[in-house]
Structure 1
Amino acid sequence: MKLALPTRDGVIDDHFGHCDHYTIVTLDDDNNILKKEAMDSPEGCGCKSDIAPVLANMGVKVMLAGNMGQGAINILQANKIKVIRGCNGPIDDVVDKWLKGELKDTLIECDHHNCPSNEIKL
Structure 2
Amino acid sequence: MKIAFPTKTVNGGAVVDSHFGHCEYFTVVTIDDATRCEVARVRMDAPEGCGCKSNVAELLAADGVSVMLAGNMGQGAVDRLAGVGVQVIRGCDGGIDDILLRWLAGEVEDNAEICAHHDEDGHGCHHSHEPVSLEPLA
TM-score by length of 2: 0.82
* Partner amino acid, structure 2, of 1:108: E
Q: Where does residue 16 of structure 2 map in the other structure?
A: 12
- CA–CA separation in structure 1 for the residues paired with 2:67 and 2:50: 19
Given candidates 85, 89, 105, the residue that maps to 2:90 is 85
Aligned length: 118
Q: Which is bigger in relative contact order (C-alpha 8 A, separation at least 6)?
A: 1
Preserved CA contact (<8 Å) 2:116 2:126: no
4+ runs of 1 displaced by more than 6 Å? none
Q: What stretches of structure 2 of length at least 5 have no aligned partner?
A: 128-138
More helix by share: 1
Deviations 1:10-67 (A, max 9, x none): 1000101110000000011221100111000011141011000110011100000000
- CA–CA separation in structure 1 for the residues paired with 2:126 and 2:96: 20
Secondary structure of the equivalent of 2:94? coil
- CA–CA separation in structure 1 for the residues paired with 2:40 and 2:30: 5
The offset of 1:115, in angstroms, is 3.3
TM-score by length of 1: 0.92
More strand by share: 2
* Partner amino acid, structure 2, of 1:76: L
RMSD: 1.4
The offset of 1:114, in angstroms, is 2.5
